[in-house]
Amino acid sequence: MEFTSQLLYPLDQVLLAVMIFSIMFGMGSSLTVDDFKTVARYPRGILIGFLSQFGLMPFFAYGLAVFFSLDPAYAISLILIGCLPGGTTSNMFAYFARGSVALSIAMTTASSVMALLMMPFLLEFYTTGFVDEISAELQASGAGIEFVIPTGNIIASLVLVLVPVLLGMFLRHKSPAWAKTAEDTAGFMGIIVIIYLIGTAVIRHTGLFLQTPTEIYVSAICVGLLGFLFGYWMSRLFKLSPIFQRAISLETGIQNGPIAFAIILLSFSEPYQSQMLWLAILYSTFIVISSSFVTLYYRKVGKFDYEVFQNTTIHNRLFGEEYVSKYPEGYLPDRIKNDPSQGSNPGQIRKAAEKAKPV
């Protein structure tokens, strides 16, 4: 599928830039220096999160691109999405999915910094084949130029999007109340711009939705879903507690879309830019929907465990660290009773075990 006209008009591009700026500003507004310190508190969670974010996701993106033999521009865009760090949206979803918000924030922070290093490397690694394909095409058409991944531009774009983040953090430092407002406003603007972009796309390029091959839709939806699924299983394999499993799962699947927009706009030219943007727009749209469903599912599944966890935590908060909550026989299912990491307070279980030991 070829784009006969530009996907985004200049006005849209300006809008998109404003959105990227405000979302990244909003993200910064939600961060404090302490969040960076939190990273140190969850080394295991961060490491597993890192593996799934920069290990699994790019691989899935690549796998999907190869499996569906996507057009090279789409493939590169998909891999780019796969390599992105996490965004603040995932923190909100983690909260509602009864996951660990602290870990989610820590992962967002860590991955945003790590992205400077990992993204150019991963892109280089996974996109080589597709880049060659485009170059071959260009050569065949006699354009006589080579297509390369503009690594320098990508790093520059990454640094550029970090500027509003720093500004946001500065605002947060000065006035937490205003920062909270900025964060919500940014989130709202993000939704409005996405809706606007899709709306205008529907009106201007009505055929686009029909022309877009099914495999593009499937890839855009699946890359997030695979992230959710494997992020969950990976952390489960490493026996992290359910609240961490849910946080890592969501953090892995939900990527920082605005960064993709920024990189595509700043580093790629037509005719590839429109194709790449289109995939990024589709991903951003579907990820909101799918993560809403996944969150609702986690919320339901985690309800009982979370309530036990919370009640036990409050018992310790009010009755002292030594207090041990003893639920009636058979009230706690085996998964919680026998596994300290599954919801009930690990500290309590440990203490109970110590008490049971003969002195």
Partner 1 sequence: MENRILAKNLADLYCKAAERYSALPAFATRKSELDWDPVSFGELYDRGLNLATGLIELGVGARDHVGLFGDNRFEWILADYGVQLCGAADVPRGRDVTDAELIYIINHAEIKIAFLETTVLLGRVLKLKKELPKLKEIVLLDSDFKAGDQYRTIDEIEHIGKNLREKGDRRAEDRIEGIRPGDLFTLIYTSGTTGKPKGVMLTHENMMSQIRGITVELSCTDRVLSILPVWHIFERVFEIFTISCGVCTYYSNVRHLANDLKNVEPTFMGSAPRLWESLYLKIRKNVKQAHPMRQILFHTAYFLSRQYRSSAYFLTGKKLYLEPPSTVKRILLTPFHALRWLLVLPIYGFFNVAVLEPVRMSAGGSLKATISGGGALPVEIDRFFNYIGIPVLEGYGMTETSPVIAVRLEENIIIGTVGPTLQDTEVRITDIETGEIIYPNPALPHQGRGVKGEIRVKGPQVMKGYYRDPEQTKSTIQNGWLRTGDLGMITFNDCIKILGRSKSTIVLLSGENLEPEPIEMRLTQSPFIEHCMVVGQDQKHIGALIVPNIEGFRDDGFKVDSLQELAKDSEAKSIIHDEIKRMISVENGYKRFELIHDFRLIGECFSNGEELTGLLKMKRHVITDKYEKLIDEIYHHETSEES
Binding site for partner 1 (CB under 8 A): 92, 95-96, 177-178, 180-181, 183-185, 187-188, 191, 288, 292, 304, 307-308, 310-311, 314-315, 317-320, 323, 325-328, 331
- In whole angstroms, the minimum distance from the beta carbon of 238 to partner 1 comes to 27
Question: Distance between CA 351 and CA 359 in Å, rounded?
Answer: 14
Nearer to partner 1, 11 or 177 (CB): 177
Nearer to partner 1, 135 or 185 (CB): 185
SS (H, E, C) 296-349: HHHHHHCHHHHHHHHHHHHHHHHHCCCCCCCCCCCCCCHHHHCCCCCCCCHHHH
Question: Distance between CA 163 and CA 143 in Å, rounded?
Answer: 37
**What are the residues whose beta carbons fall under 8 Å from the beta carbon of 246, sequence distance 6 or more?**
94, 97, 98, 99, 100, 232, 298, 302
Nearer to partner 1, 8 or 308 (CB): 308
**What are the residues whose beta carbons fall under 8 Å from the beta carbon of 111, sequence distance 6 or more?**
49, 50, 53, 54, 85, 86, 251
Nearer to partner 1, 155 or 198 (CB): 198
Classify residue 75 by its DSSP letter.
H
Question: Distance between CA 92 and CA 190 in Å, rounded?
Answer: 14
- In whole angstroms, the minimum distance from the beta carbon of 326 to partner 1 comes to 4
Nearer to partner 1, 115 or 182 (CB): 182
- In whole angstroms, the minimum distance from the beta carbon of 109 to partner 1 comes to 20
**Tokens 């699994």 appear where?**
56
- In whole angstroms, the minimum distance from the beta carbon of 335 to partner 1 comes to 15
- In whole angstroms, the minimum distance from the beta carbon of 191 to partner 1 comes to 6
- In whole angstroms, the minimum distance from the beta carbon of 223 to partner 1 comes to 21
3-state SS, residue 85? coil
3-state SS, residue 200? helix
Nearer to partner 1, 60 or 98 (CB): 98
Is the CA virtual torsion 32, 159, 25, 202 positive or negative?
negative
3-state SS, residue 8? coil
Nearer to partner 1, 325 or 341 (CB): 325
- In whole angstroms, the minimum distance from the beta carbon of 218 to partner 1 comes to 22
CA nearest neighbour of 238 among 1, 92, 12, 51: 51
Contact (Cβ atoms closer than 8 angstroms) between residue 298 and residue 246: yes
- In whole angstroms, the minimum distance from the beta carbon of 77 to partner 1 comes to 25
In 127-196 the beta strands, taken as DSSP E runs, fall at none
Question: Distance between CA 88 and CA 255 in Å, rounded?
Answer: 9
Nearer to partner 1, 238 or 304 (CB): 304
Nearer to partner 1, 45 or 187 (CB): 187
- In whole angstroms, the minimum distance from the beta carbon of 163 to partner 1 comes to 22
